[in-house]
Amino acid sequence: MPAATGVAEAAAVLRAGGLVAFPTETVYGLGANALDGHAAARIFAAKARPSFDPLITHLADPAELAGLVGAVPSLVAALAERFWPGPLTLIVARPAAVPPIVTSGLATMAVRVPDHPVARALIRAAGVPVAAPSANRFGMLSPTRAEHVAAGLGDAVDLIVDGGPTRCGIESTILDARGDRPVVLRLGALPVEALVEAVGPVDVRPGSSGQPVAPGGLAAHYAPRTPLRLVDPPPSATAPRPDDHTRGYLALRERPAQPYGAVEVLSPDGDLTGAAARLFDALHRLDATGVTEILAERVPEAGLGRAINDRLRRAAATWQPPA
């Protein structure tokens, strides 16, 4: 954790309308004052993010929600009470204080309280809610280390607060709990099973509407520069090829026998929480090796495995098999 002066300086940059990248428990965020439309506009420019993709507003404390938004539906309030601070983003009505650019003109706003001491200290010191998408260029891999932010955004960000690698490694789960039956808009670091245990059945519709409402819901997203293809484990089932040394392999637990040029194992004991924490970091590393293709194993579709598979599917979505 950086010295308090680091946080104070970063808070001053936010208050002055600047962009600060900061750690959360999920991924690094690219923050701006959520009450300042010009500052928020700079986020879209820095990320080359389309203006139709709304931002998440971050608060320092759960109690600030009522002050910013006013009355919230009782289920939303109960979920905030239960899971904040933490990797759950909730949909509420956009308050008048938040300029429409933050929500891409939507009448709704995504909001969460991150479970990270640096993030919370920063937001508290800034004294304003902080709009922050993941601190990567649009469509690329999310950053789980300050180095990823520096490599991806460079001078487009005014300041990077380095809090070391992030704990969860994938983005927050986004839930719309305003209606009778909550809808998961993005699979993420809070497993669906935890939500079901808290509130009963939920619908899971990540990006299924065809509308980019939640989107990390866009079909192609979270992509490394290297083409990525999903394969089924075990690695021995993947046919060897003479050019295996030019390919990279992302395994859940077992090292493949083939002589791949680069291999990353997410979690030797198969633990999906640990695998999620290392997912983007491993993809960043494979991407940097210069391999021509990354083969990525599907993981079990349960718990955080659902969010991991979701990220891998979207990363693979731009890849076209050779004709």
Each residue of 44-65: b (16+ CB within 10 Å) or e? bebbebeeebbbbbbbbebeeb
Task: Considering the complex, state which of residue 150 and residue 293 has its C-beta at the smaller distance from ligand TXA.
Answer: 150
Structure tokens at 157: 């960000």
Task: Considering the complex, state which of residue 28 and residue 249 has its C-beta at the smaller distance from ligand TXA.
Answer: 28
Mask for 100-129, x = binds ligand TXA (CB under 6 A): ---x--x-xxx---x---------------
Task: Considering the complex, state which of residue 165 and residue 270 has its C-beta at the smaller distance from ligand TXA.
Answer: 165
Q: CB of 268: closest distance to ligand TXA in angstroms?
A: 26
CA distance 290 to 299: 24
End-to-end CA distance of the chain: 50
Mask for 187-216, x = binds ligand TXA (CB under 6 A): --------------------------xxxx
Q: Which positions from 119 through 148 interact with Mg ion, judged by CB under 5 A?
A: 134
Q: CB of 166: closest distance to ligand TXA in angstroms?
A: 9
Centre a 10 Å sphere on the Cβ of residue 210 and count the other Cβ atoms it contains: 8
Burial of 78 (0-12, 13-18, 19+ CB in 10 A): middle
172 binds, among ligand TXA, Mg ion, none (CB under 5 to 8 A by kind): ligand TXA
**Only segment of 54-62, 77-85, 259-267, 279-287 that touches ligand TXA (CB under 6 A):** 54-62
DSSP code, position 299: -
Under 8 Å between Cβ of 7 and 122: yes
Task: Considering the complex, state which of residue 6 and residue 87 has its C-beta at the smaller distance from ligand TXA.
Answer: 87
Q: Alpha helices, DSSP H only, in the chain? A: 4-15, 37-47, 64-69, 74-83, 117-126, 146-153, 192-199, 272-288, 304-316
Which residues here bind ligand TXA, judged by CB under 6 A? Answer: 24, 26-27, 29, 53-56, 87, 89, 91, 103, 106, 108-110, 114, 132-134, 171-172, 174, 185, 213-217
Which residues here bind Mg ion, judged by CB under 5 A? Answer: 134
